[in-house]
Structure formats: C-alpha cells, structure tokens
Structure 1
Amino acid sequence: MPEGHSVHRIARQFERNFVGRVVAASSPQGRFVEGAAALDGRTVTEVRAVGKQMFLEFDDGLWLRVHLGMYGAWDFAGEILVDPTIASANGRMGQTNQRGTDLDDAVYDAAGENSLTSIGAPRRARVHVRMSEQTTGLAADDEQWPPPVVGQVRLRLLTESTCADLRGPTACVLQTPDEVAATIAALGPDPLVDDPTDGEERFATAVGRTATPIGKLLMDPAVVSGIGNVYRAELLFRARQNPHTPGRDVPRETVRGIWRDWVDLLRIGVETGQMMTMDDLDPEAYRRAMAHRDDRHWVYHRAGLPCRVCGTAIVVEEMATRKLYWCPSCQA
C-alpha cells in the first residue's frame, strides 16, 4: 500500500502536469462512467494530498477523491514535466517508476528504480511513469498518442500531452467542497499539511486518551495521517517502543518523539522517494540502501533475522490486519 510520502509525490506530479489544464476524462473499465462524464472537459484547478488520500479540484467546485488502498496505482505517460524539488524525479516518486532517462550515477534497485538522483532542472521529457510495482507490461510508446489502455483502468485523465491512468483504487468518488472538508476533518494530522506543532498536540492527545495499543493507533488514519506498515514498524523501533503498550500508557514525551520522527521521515520519503529509516549511513551504505530495501530498514521485512542493534531475532505478528515487525528485546 502506498504510504503518505507516495501520495504527496503523486500529488506533486499532478500539480505540474494537470493543474491549469483541461482534461478529457473517461472510464475504460466502465466502473466510473458517470463520474468521468462529469469531469470530462473540465479544468483541474487544485490538488491536495492528505495522508493516503488525494483530492483533485476541477472548475465549478467539483472534487475527485482518490484513495489508492492496497492495490491502487496511478500511471503517467506522455510528456512529464519534472518537479525539480523531488530528488528522484528520474526514479521513484512514492511507488513511481519513470523510464526514459539514464544517468551515469544512477542507483537502481531490483525493480529498476533510481531513487538517488534527479534529472535536474524542470524540462519536458518523453517518459513513462509506472505508479505501482504491481503494474507491468506498460512500455512507453512515443509513436502512439494517446497511449493504449492497458489493464483495468478505472479513470483516464488526458491532457494534450500527458495521460494519467488510475487502476484498482479503494475509493474514486466525486465530492462537493463540503464533503471534501468533512473527509479531511475526519483524518488525523499530516506533517505536510498541518502545522507541525498543532499536529503534534493533536496526535499526542489522541494517543493519550485510549487503551488501544500504540501499534494499532499508528495505523489509524483518524489518529495520524500517512503512516503505513513500513513506517509503523520503523517508527516504533526507532522509539524503542513496545507496539502492544496501550496508547495512554506510552510516555507523553515518547509519543511526541514519534511524531517528530514522523515529521522527519516523511520529509525524507518525499525527497528521496524511498522509506529510508536508517540514520548516519556513510555514502556507500546510503547507495546500498537506495538500491536495496533490505539495507534501508531497521526491522521491517526482517523476520527471523538478527536485530541490527542487539542481535535478537526480529519477530513478526499480525496487528491491525497487517504484518508487524519488531524486536522483542530493544522494544521490550
């Protein structure tokens, strides 16, 4: 599932490639025909990302809300106007894989993703962007425009030069401004949307009022926005916090520390396109971490392997319907 940094990076691409442009909208799959018809011919006026949800505003106050969920993906094709503030514009933007540009110092991982370098200043590049590792067989075709529909595309948004295809979302719905406001109001704080200090207070208050285990609270979008399975495991390990401790029993300063750590890790995730959670790596270790997921996390996906700190075997269990990785010694 895309986590918060992915959705913010996707929103940045929409900002640069769709805001201010008229779109042709269609539903090749046939499951969003009426919604697509309502969007067809409208101009995109704004994009927002809050946690794991993205909101696209069109003229006359019509909004599209998209939640990718477990299997959703956006695919861009065509002329992609690159965002220079995203360090890995040639590589990963959340769950994004761009093809078409090669750099001598690129660092590619097993999925062919270069998350270390940027293609530089803003420019138009004829590239293909794959928004999800689950999507395959989508080679860019410079000769055919618009690109052929591949797979079950719920919604296609098309400008004169850029195409965005949405597959498999949990939610793809039209909303009024009041409905968007209500949806966002029900979400926990997002460090990239809310004032970090106010967000810290909201988060600490929500955690401190309940007996729900902290490991579950970090996955509750009403408590905090954007944290998914990877960040949950890593944040708890970095805080040396037992995931089973009731929220109200977690020391207040520990809760605040988790929020501040989330602020930092989310920023790194947006900048690099990777959920980099290990600190103080030398240049070679950093390159390895960019190239291999197993070298960029403390506990996630390391069940049975020795803890990088104490040597105890990392355990895995199910919590909040997802696999939770943690060290029973460091996080006792």
Structure 2
Amino acid sequence: MPEGHTLHRLARQHQRRFGRAPVIVSSPQGRFVDGATAVNGRVLKKATAWGKHLFHHYDGGRVVHVHLGLYGSFTEWPLPPLLPVGQVRMRMVGTEYGADLRGPTVCEVIDEPEIADIVARLGPDPLRPDADPSLAWRRINKSRRPIGALLMDQSVIAGIGNVYRSELLFRHRTDPFRPGTSVTANEFDALWTDLVALMKVGVRRGKIVVVLPEHDHGAPSYREGRPRTYVYRRAGDPCRVCSTPVRTVEMEARNLFWCPNCQS
C-alpha cells in the first residue's frame, strides 16, 4: 500500500501539472461517471494530502477524494492524450499533461466541509506543517497495544505504512512488542523527529530511504530498483548491523519485521 509520502508527492505533482486551470475529468472505466461529470471542466484550485488521503479541490466547492488502498496508482503522460489502457477509474487532462487513476479503494466527489469528517478520524500527519505530535503521543501513552501496532493505526499517526513502521522501530532499536504505555516522551519525540525527516526524503526522492550510509552495502534490496531496508521483507536474512537473522510475525493482520537482537 502506498505510504503517506507518496500521496504528498502526488499532491505536489498534480498541483504543478493541473493546478489553477480547467481540467477535463472523465471515467473511461465507467465507475466514476457521475463524479467526473460533477468536476469536469472546473478549475483545480489546489491538491492536498492528509496521511494516505488525496484531495483535489475544484472551484465551486467540490472535492475529489482518493484513497489508493493496496492497488491504486496514478500514471502520468504528456499530451496529446493516449487511449486508456486497463481499468481507468478517473482520467484527468490538463493543458500539457494527463493522468490516469487505476484501482483505488476510494474515488469519490465530496463537498469541501466533508473533508473535516475524514480528517477527524485521522491522527496527525508528519508531513503537514500543522501536525500536532502531542495528539499521537497522548493516544500512544494511554494504550497497552504494542507500539508496532499503534504506529500502523491511522487514527494515531496518519501516513505510516508497513515499511516506515518496521524501519523506524529498527532505527531506534525499539522492541515492536512494547506496549504504548511503556514508551517515554523522549523516545516518542525521537521517533517523531526521525519519521518527519524520513518522510520528507520520501517526498523529495519518490522512494523510502532509511538505511544509513555505513550500513548501505552487502545484501541487495528486497525488490529490484528499491533502496535497501534494515528489516522490511528481509525475514531470515542477517541483520545489517548485528548479523542476527531478521524475524517476521503477523501483528494485527500485517506482517511485522524486526531484529530480535538489536530491538530486544
């Protein structure tokens, strides 16, 4: 599933490509026809993101709300338009570029005030300048759920996915099974500060980069073309720091990766 940096990167990209100009919006697949009609030809005022949610704000107060889910993705192309390939839920055509959305969990048109209802269910977003980390800290500090589960809870912190969760805890040598109540304020502050920095790199470079230069060697990344990780999708491989085999277990329906030595 795309993590929060991907949505913020998309928001910036769509703002550059389509912002402040009329956008032709259609639904080649046919599942978003009414929504596309509601915003077709309107000016895209701005594109924003909160966690894993993307919002296209059009004049007149209508907003296209997108959640990519597990399989959603945007592809972009320069004009002239190409024939749609596959199940294109939403097509955007601007003055110089077009973009196709495929496979999202959510693609709907809402009114501007409804954004507040969506955001109210989410925790602070580390990539937003108005983020209040104290809200996340209070939820963590009151919970006996494992910190490894709390970090994946979008109502605690918005935008963290499995990669950032596993890698952040490793970088801070934190046992993912520790209850939230055992995490100190100083430990949380260090986690939050590092998370903000890592996600900003993700927005800037378009990929998650978490391994320090002194550890960025040896075993390849978990997938061709991806940066190395410390533990994510490396079950059974030697830890890049201590050589202990990386372990994995299912935690609240998601695979968790950790080093039992470094994170003990």
Offset from partner CA, 1:181-211 (integer Å, 9 cap, x none)? 2212321111221445xx2212211110111
- Structure 1 residues 227, 293: closer, same or farther in 2, change over 3 A? farther
Q: Distance in 1 between matches of 2:45 and 2:141?
A: 39
> 1:31: which partner in 2?
31
Q: Are residue 160 (structure 1) and residue 87 (structure 2) matched?
A: no
Tell which has more relative contact order, 1 or 2 (C-alpha 8 A, sep 6+). Answer: 1
Q: Distance in 2 between matches of 1:329 and 1:256?
A: 23
1:229 pairs with 162, 166, 191, which one?
A: 162
* Structure 1 stretches of 4+ moved >2 Å: 291-296
Give 2:124's aligned amino acid: P
> 2:235: which partner in 1?
303
Does the aligned pair in 2 maintain the 1:219–1:320 contact within 8 Å? no
Does the aligned pair in 2 maintain the 1:294–1:301 contact within 8 Å? no
Offset from partner CA, 1:156-193 (integer Å, 9 cap, x none)? 11123211111010111111121112212321111221
Does the aligned pair in 2 maintain the 1:229–1:324 contact within 8 Å? yes
Give 1:313's aligned amino acid: P
Q: Helix, strand or coil for the counterpart of 1:60?
A: coil
Give 1:301's aligned amino acid: R
- Structure 1 residues 63, 295: closer, same or farther in 2, change over 3 A? closer
Q: Helix, strand or coil for the counterpart of 2:45?
A: strand
Give 2:182's aligned amino acid: D
Structure 1 residue 281 displacement after superposition: 4.4
Does the aligned pair in 2 maintain the 1:26–1:157 contact within 8 Å? yes
Structure 1 residue 244 displacement after superposition: 1.4
Q: Are residue 49 (structure 1) and residue 49 (structure 2) matched?
A: yes
Give 1:327's aligned amino acid: C
> 1:327: which partner in 2?
259
Does the aligned pair in 1 maintain the 2:74–2:101 contact within 8 Å? yes
Q: Distance in 2 between matches of 1:295 and 1:307?
A: 16
Does the aligned pair in 2 maintain the 1:200–1:259 contact within 8 Å? yes
Give 1:324's aligned amino acid: L
> 1:175: which partner in 2?
110
Does the aligned pair in 1 maintain the 2:136–2:156 contact within 8 Å? yes
1:253 pairs with 168, 183, 186, which one?
A: 186
Q: Distance in 1 between matches of 2:105 and 2:76?
A: 19
Q: Are residue 273 (structure 1) and residue 214 (structure 2) matched?
A: no
Q: Distance in 2 between matches of 1:272 and 1:150?
A: 27
> 1:318: which partner in 2?
250
**TM-score when normalising by structure 2:** 0.93
- Structure 1 residues 293, 17: closer, same or farther in 2, change over 3 A? closer
Give 1:152's aligned amino acid: Q
Does the aligned pair in 2 maintain the 1:61–1:176 contact within 8 Å? yes
Does the aligned pair in 2 maintain the 1:157–1:165 contact within 8 Å? yes
Q: Distance in 2 between matches of 1:73 and 1:294?
A: 17
Offset from partner CA, 1:116-137 (integer Å, 9 cap, x none)? xxxxxxxxxxxxxxxxxxxxxx
Q: Distance in 1 between matches of 2:96 and 2:74?
A: 16
> 1:141: which partner in 2?
none
> 2:86: which partner in 1?
151
Q: Which stretches in structure 2 are left out of the alignment for 5+ residues? A: none
Structure 1 residue 329 displacement after superposition: 1.4
Q: How does 1:10-29 map to 2 (within 5 A)?
A: 10-29=10-29
> 1:67: which partner in 2?
67
Identity percentage of aligned residues: 44
Q: Helix, strand or coil for the counterpart of 2:60?
A: helix
Count of residue pairs brought into register by the alignment: 261
Offset from partner CA, 1:46-67 (integer Å, 9 cap, x none)? 1101111110000111111100
- Structure 1 residues 243, 152: closer, same or farther in 2, change over 3 A? same
**TM-score when normalising by structure 1:** 0.74
Give 1:46's aligned amino acid: K
Structure 1 residue 280 displacement after superposition: 3.5
Give 1:269's aligned amino acid: G
